[in-house]
Structure 1
Amino acid sequence: MDNQKGVVFPMVMIIASVFIMFTILMIDQFVIDKKFYKEVEETLISDHLVHLAVNEVTAEWDGEIPKSIQGDISYPNGDVHYKLTKQDVRYAYIEFSSLSKNNRTGRIIILYDKKIGRVIEWIEKLKD
């Protein structure tokens, strides 16, 4: 026992330091992952609002589109505003803008084919 001369304390400090650094690293990773999952959740809610509005608005038409399309739809997770941007003999372009309860916005433009009575193109728009 006389020949150890203080080897145990430095070894304990090194092992404890490694353990503390590993714990701090895991906490930091947890915080980053939590922020990422919250962002993904908000994006999915915004996209879901737009999908609900597109299905609700296009279900009312039965192939016959009104001359002026504009309105707002409220859902428990947010609101969607839609309006007709361009229309010709066969196609109609309708813009949908969603705003979730946490102020996440989403914007799409759909291309609706009047002849076949369904959405044929979905154009995602970035924030302005």
Structure 2
Amino acid sequence: MNNQKGVVFPMVMIVASVFIMFTILMIDQFVIDKKFYKEVEETLVADHLVHLAVNEVTAGWGEDIPKNLQGDISYPNGDVHYILTKQDARYAFIEFASSTKDNRVGRIIIQYDKELGRVVEWIEKQSV
């Protein structure tokens, strides 16, 4: 027993240090992943709110679109504000802006074709 000359303690310290560093690295990675998934979730919720509002606002339209079209729609996960930005004989451009409960903003502009009675273009805008 006396011939070990202190080899076990340094080996235990090295193995313990590697284990502790690995654990700290994994905790740090978990925190980063959790923040990323929260951001993705909020973006998807904002996008989903806009999709719901577009379907709700354009339902039942034909060629008759109100001249002063604007309003707000409230959903359990956030609110959507919409406004008619431009209208001509065939197309109408409506801007939708959603905001979630955690203040994530999503903005789009749709191009609605009155003759076809449906959305023909979907333009996503960068939120500031």
How high is the TM-score relative to the length of structure 2?
0.96
Identity score, percent: 80
The one-letter amino acid paired with 1:21 is: M
How far is the alpha carbon of 1:102 from its aligned partner? 0.7
How far is the alpha carbon of 1:66 from its aligned partner? 1.7
**CA RMSD, 1 decimal:** 0.9
Structure 1 unaligned spans of 5+: none
Structure 1 residue 113 and structure 2 residue 113: aligned? yes
- Matched with 1:36 is 36
Structure 1 residue 100 and structure 2 residue 100: aligned? yes
| Structure 1 ranges of 4+ moved more than 6 A | none
> Deviations 1:56-109 (Å, cap 9, x if unpaired)?
000031342122211110000111000000011100100000111111111000
- Matched with 1:11 is 11
Alignment of 1:1-128 (within 5 A): 1-128=1-128
User: 2:63 & 2:100 partners in 1: Cα distance?
Assistant: 30
The residue matched to 2:54 in structure 1 has which SS?
helix
Q: How many residue pairs end up in the alignment?
A: 128
How far is the alpha carbon of 1:4 from its aligned partner? 1.7
The residue matched to 2:49 in structure 1 has which SS?
helix
The one-letter amino acid paired with 1:10 is: P
Is the Cα–Cα contact under 8 Å of residues 62 and 115 in structure 2 kept in the other structure?
Answer: no
